[in-house]
Amino acid sequence: MSAQNNINANQSLNSQQKSIVSIAALTAVGDLEHLKTQLNSGLDAGLTINEIKEVLIQLYAYCGFPRSLNGINTFMNVVEERKAKGVTDVEGKEASPITNSADKYETGKKTLQTLTGQEEKGPKTGANAFAPAIDTFLKEHLFADIFSRDILTYQQRELATISVLSALDGVTSQLQFHLGVGMNIGHTESQLNEVFSIIETHIGKQQAEIAKNVLLKMADK
């Protein structure tokens, strides 16, 4: 079964999904002490070492290299500490080589269309028209290079992304976009509200309420 087409019909987040939410949110805000606890919980829940690595790698696109690298270094220490205690964690599969020789911009464009369920037509608008280089980077790097890696499903990647954007202040428009993507590829409103409950636990009630309100406004449209 293709990792990219694995749609989970469950209405509730499972333990691995909840761990992805916690890991992504805590990495985004730089809370490394609590991140360490959640990294241990993620491994205990059955996430592989490479799956967690991939979550942390993807996050640099949404909260920056410094936060991502801090998360990776924290995870490296967690893995070593567990090894020292005799805990054997599953390494998991490595990312398959990307052999698609198609134009990367077109690959990213098609991936974005799959995620949004909408075909991009007409001239560029907004930020993509004002700064065309950002459109190129988004299509060729984020949606081609990163989203083409098969360690995580699209659902897992979007879950991590939504969690980061829910944890950060001042990114409601981006959160709204990714909530739409999340629902398009199979996440339910119930699952997204679970995400916000985890955000409330780890980040704070105010940030969780902001995220909940974004989803409520989308439902009202």
Sketch the domain layout of the chain as residue ranges. 103-147
- CA pair distance 185, 152, nearest whole angstrom: 14
Question: Is 163 within 8 Å of 38 (Cβ atoms)?
Answer: no
For residue 184, give every residue at least 6 positions away whose Cβ sits within 8 Å of its Cβ, in sequence order, or none.
115, 116, 117
Task: Express as a percent the part of the chain with pLDDT over 70.
Answer: 95
Count of beta carbons in the 10 Å neighbourhood of residue 1:
6
Mean pLDDT on 48-59? 98
Position 35 confidence tier, pLDDT thresholds 50, 70, 90: very high
Q: Is the predicted pLDDT of residue 3 greater than 60, yes or no?
A: no
* Spatial CA neighbour of 35 closest among 56, 16, 14, 51: 56
Of 2-16, 34-48, 66-80, 88-102, which gets the smallest average pLDDT? 2-16
Position 86 confidence tier, pLDDT thresholds 50, 70, 90: very high
Question: Across all residues in the chain, what is the average pLDDT?
Answer: 93
At residue 99, the pLDDT reads 74
Q: Give buried/exposed letters for 185-194 (b at 16+ CB in 10 A, else e).
A: bbbbeebbeb
Question: Is 82 within 8 Å of 43 (Cβ atoms)?
Answer: yes
- CA pair distance 40, 88, nearest whole angstrom: 12
Q: Write the pLDDT tens digit of every residue in 151-166.
A: 999 999 999 999 999 9
At residue 179, the pLDDT reads 98
Between 172-184 and 104-116, two packed helices, what is the crossing angle to 10 degrees? Answer: 80
Q: Is the predicted pLDDT of residue 10 greater than 70, yes or no?
A: no
At residue 8, the pLDDT reads 47
Mean pLDDT on 213-220? 91
Mean pLDDT on 42-59? 98
Position 11 confidence tier, pLDDT thresholds 50, 70, 90: confident
Mean pLDDT on 25-34? 98
Q: Write the pLDDT tens digit of every residue in 110-140.
A: 999 999 999 988 899 999 999 999 999 999 9
At residue 1, the pLDDT reads 30
Question: Is 15 within 8 Å of 45 (Cβ atoms)?
Answer: yes
Position 9 confidence tier, pLDDT thresholds 50, 70, 90: very low
* Spatial CA neighbour of 67 closest among 2, 163, 144: 163
Give 179 or 11, the one with higher predicted confidence.
Answer: 179
Question: Is 140 within 8 Å of 108 (Cβ atoms)?
Answer: yes
Mean pLDDT on 35-57? 98
